Amino acid sequence: MHIILKILLESILPVLLLLPLIMIFTKDENQIKTIGFFLFIFICYQLILKIPIECKELQFINGKKNWTGKLIGIFFGSVTYLLIYKKLQPFTFLRIKQDPNKLAKTILICFILIFTAFFSCFDSAKEFDTEILIFQLTMPGLDEEIMFRGILLALLLTCLKDKIKIGKRTFGNPGILIIGLLFGLVHGCSVSNKLELNFEFYPFIWTFIFGYIWSWVTVESKSILLPILSHNLTNFIQNLVRMV
């Protein structure tokens, strides 16, 4: 029973914490259904990722990393995108074509993100592991970018206000901010087997910054291609540098 509650809490808690912020920036009451749809997709996605970790018998690929959850997550995200494609318009980011006017800027930002991965040489060393390197070079970018930027960000862009307004001043897009925060919470929050909430500040702030920037790049380039590539390369380099 504790395992079931642990999975449910970890799947629901990140988006529940951000729900008040989402409601503040919602365009109008007509968007409530879209917000509900957003919550439903996120929770289903998290359950898909977490169940194979806790229930080893459900894994069809045995390994050190969650290959089963990630592959099912990619499949779930791809099918979901195809089913709700029309609802996401004009924010249909699952495409290769980039906005040519923003290409140089977005490529530069992604190169900067990739470069930061070399600073992991200051972290503790890791034993060389080919499986982990292959996993980091393929799975996280595909799975997480399809879901967080391709679907969840697009849904928020359709139902939230375009700008954050504080007094007479306007700031960035609330959808980009919320997806960045959600990305950080997913990586920084966990629930123990004793149902104790754990929060790790460093993973949260690091993944929040990266999640925010990848969301911004997606909106600017109108594609998740660059976030996928920079996400996987950053993860790969971070692990490789620590291994060698």
* Residues in contact with 72: Cβ distance below 8 Å, sequence separation at least 6, in sequence order: 48, 49, 52
> Which residue blocks in the chain are alpha helix, DSSP H?
2-24, 32-54, 67-83, 85-88, 103-116, 130-144, 154-159, 174-188, 201-221, 225-243
Whether the predicted model's global pTM rises above the 0.75 cut: yes
The answer to whether the Cα torsion of 158, 147, 49, 15 is positive or negative is negative
Tens of pLDDT along the chain (244 residues)? 678 999 999 999 999 999 999 999 999 989 999 999 999 999 999 999 999 998 888 899 989 999 999 999 999 999 999 999 999 999 999 999 999 999 999 999 999 999 999 999 889 899 999 999 999 999 999 999 999 999 999 999 999 999 987 777 888 899 999 999 999 999 999 999 888 999 999 999 999 999 999 999 999 999 999 999 999 999 999 999 999 8
Residue extents of the structural domains in the chain = 2-243
